[in-house]
Amino acid sequence: MSNKVSLCIKLILSLMLYEPCEAAVGNVSCTASISSSCELYGNAVCACYQKLDSGETCSRVNDATECVSNAVCKIVSSGLKCTCDTGYYDDNFGDPGGQCKVEIALGAICTVSGFADECVPFSTCMSVGSDLKCQCSIGYYDNDVNTAAGTCVLELQSGVTCTRVNDATECVPNSICKDTGFGLKCYCNTGFYDNNFAASGGQCVAEIALSVTCTQVYIQTECVPNAVCQSEGLELKCTCSNGYYDSNFADSGGTCKTELESGVTCTRENDATECVPNSICKDTGSGLKCYCNTGYYDHNFAASGGQCVAEREFGVTCTQNNQPKECVTNAVCKNGGSGLKCYCNTGFYDNNFAASGGQCIPEKESGVTCTQNNQPTECVPNAVCKSGVCICNTGYYDDNFSTIGGQCVSDHSPLYFELDFTNNRPSHNIPKFHTYIKWDNNKNIDYVQLLHNQQDRLLSLVNDISTLDDASDSVREITQILYNSAFEVFGRSVLINKNENNIRKNNEWFDEKCAKERENFHKFRNIFLRHPTDINGQFYITARNSFNKAKRQARTRFKRWKGIELCITAKTDPRKFWSTIKPKNKSHCEVDNDVLFNHFETILGDIPPDICYEVLDLLNNIQISEFHVDFLDSEITDNEVIKAIHKLKNYCS
């Protein structure tokens, strides 16, 4: 009963609401119209229903009968719904009552900005100029830009083979299709890198700026050009590679620029950031420029454009003959017989005491502490290290005349022994002169000018040397020129008295020690006259005092010896004793008491040394002849003593 009611209701509704169905013929199905579906009920009875719009609930899964054209009943999240077929879209965009229309091709006009429903897959309706058109969505590209038949396909990632040379269309953003020798492939543009860090398959993202955190240690890929990802404390950050510096000097947003070479203009004074390694930006009078640090030199040997490399140590091979630049301080590059090497300048020595590898430091002067015993290397010329101190060699002395700090110079003048300047003129009736040179600092300029006037002659003597004999002759003549020039400016002459009797002789008491002290005194006096400095004056005074002391001591020793000699003589030969003390300038023996004792004091001094009793007896207890015993108790007068001495001396008894 219920089925008949349901059938009647359907028939009534179909007649009232829908288009009539075409009559059935026999058991042949009804013919549906565009907007309705028909069902056969019995013989030649058709029931018609309106088709369901896109999005409406349907009942027959995977059946398009009850849905509008180009739609099918599918299971979706909300149940069975009429869904547009592939290539079609719901023109009501999901609201009830929509039809399924053909998707709009790429480049064709669309209606709803930002919607992808009406456009072909992977494309979106977006503004193009003043129109709305379907364009491929982000990450996709039109595979047929020349026609409207294109579809949106996934963009090709970095390193993937592409087809359109120098075209960025088919590649991921920030990349382009080009040939770098391995066929056409997508490569990231400048300023971008492959975030997959592989030969292919990554996106092109912006390079990481300097001082910003990075991920791939010691890899340059993700950092801006000429920078590398390195550790900074506990973080990885992009830092300029060797040979480059941050143009923004550590502030964000900088680029890595090539470091400025030696001699090139820079901008940040006393800052090494923008200069090549081992150099710094400073102003030495010609503006701010990069200059090599101490211990380094410009390997280009030019005003600008070189790297700063470590100076070559003593004995190390060098390249620039007679150039000091590439060698350590106080050294020069020269050929010492085994090729070009760095050698210490005069006055300096290798502190490594080896064939190579040391610094050149000043030689240690006389009296200065040294380390290499019995070695002359570290001491000034003509000195050697002994017991940890630099000592002048035999024949040389410290020209500073102090405990430390002098040079070792010869005790004599080599010029004087090289040349014989003796006056060889005949001696008869011609006076002799002693010639000598006394240096005067006030006349130095005159001496230099005189030598300058003879410069051509001196040069010719040097240039004409071809044999050893020539060298000897040239040295002799050059020395003669130097001496004659010096004598012309500083020379003096003194007349020599020919009377040999007037030649001053040494006193009898002048011994060998006096002679040595006199020689030392003359040496220091001459040095002081040539170089009148305070220190030389002090040494001169010290030498003079020492000489005078030696003379006093010698006289005292001599008088003591004379006293002992008189003692011996008084014991053994009184006659000789009186002959010794008798004044030599008297022609007779008459002498008063004062004269006798004054003469004796002259021999022995004002305070004579201890004298033996024999001498005192002879002087104080003289035996007087022809005396009477009665006189012994009488007072003896001075005249009587003198008279007795006269007799004794006259009789030589």
| HSE value, Cβ hemisphere, 13 Å, CA-based, for 213 | 3
Rounded (10°) CA dihedral 366, 372, 374, 380: -30
| Cα distance between residue 396 and residue 392, in whole Å | 6
Question: Tens digits of per-residue pLDDT, 56-66?
Answer: 888 888 888 78
Say how far apart CA 238 and CA 227 lie, in whole Å.
Answer: 6
Could you give the angle at the alpha carbon of 214 between the alpha carbons of 209 and 219, nearest 5°? Answer: 95
CA dihedral sign, ordered 186, 191, 192, 193: positive
Measured distance CA(493)–CA(331) in Å, rounded: 46
Over residues 312-317, the mean pLDDT reads: 88
DSSP bridge partners of 79 = 76
Mean pLDDT (whole number) for 213-228:
87
Four-residue CA torsion sign, 409, 444, 345, 366: positive
Tell me the residue type at 632: L
Residue 233 φ/ψ region, left for φ over 0, alpha for ψ in the -120 to 50 degree band, beta for the rest = left
DSSP one-letter code for 93:
T
Burial of 453 (0-12, 13-18, 19+ CB in 10 A): exposed
Domain boundaries, the chain: 434-462+472-498, 512-582+590-651
Q: How far apart are CA 131 and CA 12, in angstroms?
A: 50
Instruction: Report pLDDT digits (tens) over 384-442.
Output: 998 888 888 877 777 776 667 788 876 543 333 333 334 444 444 555 666 777 777 78
pTM equals 0.43
If you average pLDDT over every residue of the chain, what do you get? 76
Query: pLDDT category, 2, cuts 50, 70, 90?
Result: very low
**Alpha helices (H) along 454-533:** 455-463, 468-490, 512-530
More confident of the two residues 31 and 458: 458
d(CA 243, CA 259) in angstroms, rounded, equals 5
Q: Are the C-beta atoms of residues 309 and 297 closer than 8 Å to each other?
A: yes
The H-or-E segment that residue 278 falls in is none
CA-to-CA distance for 256 and 239, rounded, in angstroms?
8
Tokens, residue 5: 């009611």
Amino acid letter, 506: N
**In 10 A of CB 351, how many CB atoms?**
17
Q: Is the pLDDT of residue 622 over 70?
A: no
The residue among 416 and 235 whose pLDDT is bigger is: 235
What's the maximum distance between 2 C-alpha atoms anywhere in the chain? Answer: 221
Question: What is the predicted pLDDT for the residue at 48?
Answer: 65
| Rounded CA separation 556/606 (Å) | 11
| Per-position b or e across 356-367, b if 16+ CB within 10 A of its CB | eebbbeebbbbb
Q: How far apart are CA 510 and CA 466, in angstroms?
A: 54
Element housing 558 (H / E): helix 534-572
Looking at residue 651, the DSSP 8-state letter turns out to be H
Torsions phi, psi of 349, nearest 5?
Answer: -140, 160
Tens digit of each residue's pLDDT (9 = 90 or more) over 549-559: 999 898 888 87
pLDDT of residue 600: 53
Model confidence at 31, pLDDT cuts 50, 70, 90, reads low
Closest CA to 203 of 167, 239, 157: 157
Burial label, 642 (beta-carbon count in 10 A; 0-12, 13-18, 19+): middle
- Where is average pLDDT lowest: 205-209, 362-366, 502-506, 522-526? 502-506
User: CA nearest 348: which of 368, 332, 372, 371?
Assistant: 332
Smallest CA-to-CA distance from 245 within 279, 222, 215, 218 is with 279
Q: How many CB atoms lie within 10 A of CB 125?
A: 22
Residue 331 · residue 314 · CB < 8 Å: yes
Query: Amino acid identity of 284?
Result: T
Q: What does the alpha-carbon distance between residue 298 and residue 326 come to, in Å, rounded to a whole number? A: 8
Q: What is the pLDDT averaged over residues 4-26?
A: 45
Give 426-440 pLDDT, tens digit per residue. Answer: 444 555 666 777 777
Higher pLDDT, 542 or 487: 542
pLDDT in tens, 248-292: 876 666 788 988 888 899 988 898 888 999 999 999 888 999 988
- For residue 458, what pLDDT band results from cuts at 50, 70 and 90? confident
* Closest by CA position to 103, among listed 126, 123, 129: 123
- Euclidean distance between CA atoms 535 and 481, whole angstroms: 32
Q: Which residue has the higher pLDDT, 601 or 571?
A: 571
pLDDT tens digits along 38-58: 554 444 455 566 778 888 888
